[in-house]
Structure 1
């Protein structure tokens, strides 16, 4: 048989391109809060995925973390709408509307989206068209973002209960009652689910039956969500502390006094042995995960309630004054910042964590806008606030011209 090596070579090139494209796409996904079930907030920057810069205004304030899955950016709003936007240009693909606010960040698994709402339901939607698969009723609002393993969906509710339901049909597997509402989003590792509660405790439950493996007492509400690396659970508390807790025993490894409440969830770069977190008083901290010693601190002057995202040599974190900061992860030095209002506190607060992928960063704001930034070129979209500022300047110039004419006419008449 005669082999056409030219055609064979072309086929091999096409195959490599296809494989490379598939790998890049999967590497670029950010399918849940903090990207993975251990909540490290880290993404491999070696991906070809990139988008244009754009901004789109949705129906109301946005406080949920966006999720990137394939070509879709998923965002929930305070008005109760979950949007699927085209990651390339921000165009609406579909939307799912409720009557109550969505404050639970969505999570995606096997082409289904899971999220909670203030109506007390946890919803499952089809990723392709936004059609409802099922919904499960808890006893109160759901702010906790769900975690999904091969069998179940796990989440907390403001009714104080932590739930495990089947991912296929929302049957209740087990339920564990804490002594206060649960805002913290669960992390899963080694058949154990970890989360905090406003009863001041951190919990470790068996994923099979919900039995308690251990619980750890902090000094105040635990709204921060855990991150798990190398056998240690890292989490913040309203008692101003960041805790490192042994994953198996629940014993304390170390604590760090951050000086103010830590609602920001820690992100961890395992290679650099570094934890990043923000504080209510506006500090961004880098700590050594082995002993809790501080590597660096940046004081922003604005509350940091968002969780840092780690990509390449940088971290990205949003502030209550409306800015998105990019800092060098080794030194804390400012690399670039983007503020759609151009000056602090002119635009809406950024209370949701950004999503990074390749050269793109997606951020949301309480002004109701979603922004796509180019982190390679350090550029963002022209903000709607530009037109407000231009209109104000134009108005001032017109007023000055009118005043000048009035003064001139008065002088001439005299």
Structure 2
């Protein structure tokens, strides 16, 4: 069973008259196998420090799933992916951050149960027995069991949406958080400030950590590579703006080298090598505030109503699948399956079934329709954890669904 350190340092209708057998040798095959590991968690946004959004060797439902339990959250939305530890699930609802017991489905604690404003957007991150929560302009380290605050750090500006991660280092664990137009490094144990680095623009989305470097995107489209001492190694500009967390592609994901990929607001996926050189760029079309995933040498990205699979080495398209409706719900990869929310939860073969481009057969594993749109999905220990959203005018409330 991989440890949390192992996981965090990982850096993942029909075809007309054409028969399935004739399509078997066409584009889209990567020979991925079903996962075998059922002991894993999702302790931080993006699953790990590289934002892979993947547990490539993990087990998760591959056929119609069973609803184990549901927990009513009492809000119009789930605004971030569920964070899952060995015994708890943390869910951000916009008006609150809620901790739910994994075994019973009962609420352990929440930080702001009487709040009526739309103020919480970013997902927490967990290390050990402590959860680090972005709370408007305050970063709070809370006991995972009780919710009691161990320490707080006030910033002069609002913490950027999702701009929080925690890294285990030889010199002690660090919290990286963005507020205003600056990135901060804090001691995870005490909250003491280690360094501050001003940026051109406000940081947005969860930073990535790899090889002693921190990769930070800003709202204005700047991608920074910052050393563990807080100095800028390089900065690159995505002219249309950045619309995803940076995702590390390691040498296991590509035939040569490693680097970082980001999505632009215009639907362009751009890959920079570790030195900041722009190696490839692929235009998909529209792209919302979403995320990308990497698993089995395949980069997954959602653009409007379409899920794209790209070759991680050169950005070439392997396949695409129509998801029927547009939604801001990023894909994840568990085992040989891609899971993506929207009007329902969809499970798709990471090899895209059989076919060429969008002409596919056998790509769908299941569609699961709940009582609301699925805003985000994560996985742990062979189960799926999905947040549903009722919407501003929707009837009912949001729920946390646990599927096996």
**If the length of structure 1 is used for normalisation, what is the TM-score?**
0.76
SS of equivalent to 1:147: strand
Task: List runs of 5+ in structure 1 lacking aligned partners.
Answer: 1-16, 342-346, 375-414
CA contact (8 A) 1:232 1:245 kept: yes
* 1:182/1:223 contact within 8 Å kept: no
Pick the aligned partner of 1:77 from 93, 100, 106.
Answer: 93
Kept in 1: contact 2:305–2:322 (CA 8 A): yes
Query: For the pair shown, which has the larger CA radius of gyration, 1 or 2?
Result: 1
What CA RMSD, in Å, does the superposition of the two structures yield over aligned residues? 2.5
**Which residue is equivalent to 1:334?**
364
Gaps of 5+ in 2: 8-35, 251-257, 354-362, 391-397
1:309 equivalent among 309, 332, 356: 332
Alpha-carbon distance, 1:107 to partner: 0.5
1:95 to 110, 129, 136: 110
Indicate the residue corresponding to 1:13 in structure 2: none
CA contact (8 A) 1:106 1:145 kept: no
Query: Which of 57, 60, 83 pairs up with 1:67?
Result: 83
Partner in structure 1 of residue 268 of structure 2: 241
Q: Which has the higher contact order (CA 8 A, sep 6+)?
A: 2
Partner of 1:229: 249
CA distance in 1, matches of 2:271, 2:226: 17
- Deviation, 1:26, is 9.1
User: Would you say the 8 A contact 1:28–1:47 is kept in 2?
Assistant: no
State the secondary structure of the residue aligned to 1:184.
coil
For residue 315 of structure 2, the aligned residue among 286, 292, 295 is 292
- The 1:25–1:121 alpha-carbon spacing in structure 2 relative to 1, beyond 3 Å, is farther
1:32 aligns with 2:55: no
Residue 370 of structure 1 pairs with residue 393 of structure 2: no
CA distance in 2, matches of 1:172, 1:25: 38
Q: Quote the Cα distance in structure 2 between the aligned partners of 1:51 and 1:191.
A: 41
- Tell me, yes or no, if the aligned pair for 2:163 and 2:203 is still in contact at 8 Å: no
Secondary structure of the residue aligned to 1:179 is: coil
SS of alignment partner, residue 27 of structure 1: coil
3-state SS of 2:374 partner? coil
List aligned pairs for 1:51-200, cutoff 5 A.
Answer: 53-60=68-75, 61-79=77-95, 81-97=96-112, 99=115, 101-118=119-136, 120-142=137-159, 143-150=161-168, 151-157=173-179, 159-200=180-221
Q: CA, structure 1 residues 190+83, in 2 after alignment: closer, same or farther (shift >3 Å)?
A: same
Name the one with the larger strand percent. Answer: 2
More helix by proportion, 1 or 2?
A: 1
Q: How far, CA to CA, are the matches of 1:239 and 1:33 in structure 2?
A: 23
What secondary structure is seen at the aligned counterpart in 1 of 2:78? coil
Cα separation, partners in 2 of 1:51 and 1:340, compared to 1, 3 Å: closer
2:294 equivalent to 1:278: no
* Pairwise CA distance, 1:359: 3.3
CA separation of 1:152/1:189 partners in 2, compared to 1, >3 Å: closer, same or farther? same
Conserved in 1, the CA contact under 8 Å of 2:332 and 2:339?
yes
Partners of 2:271 and 2:291 in 1: how far apart?
Answer: 13
User: Which contiguous aligned blocks of 4+ residues in structure 1 show a shift greater than 4 angstroms?
Assistant: 23-26
Give how far 1:366 is off: 2.3
CA deviation string 1:96-129 (max 9, x = no partner): 22756221101101211012122x1111101121
Output the TM-score relative to the length of structure 2.
0.78
In structure 2, how many angstroms separate the alpha carbons of the residues matched to 1:91 and 1:131? 18
Question: How far 1:223 sits from its partner (Å)?
Answer: 3.3
Q: Is the 8 A contact 1:204 1:215 kept in 2?
A: yes
1:379 corresponds in structure 2 to: none
The corresponding residue for 2:53 is 41
Q: Structure 1 residues 127, 354: CA separation in 2 closer, same or farther (over 3 Å shift)? A: same
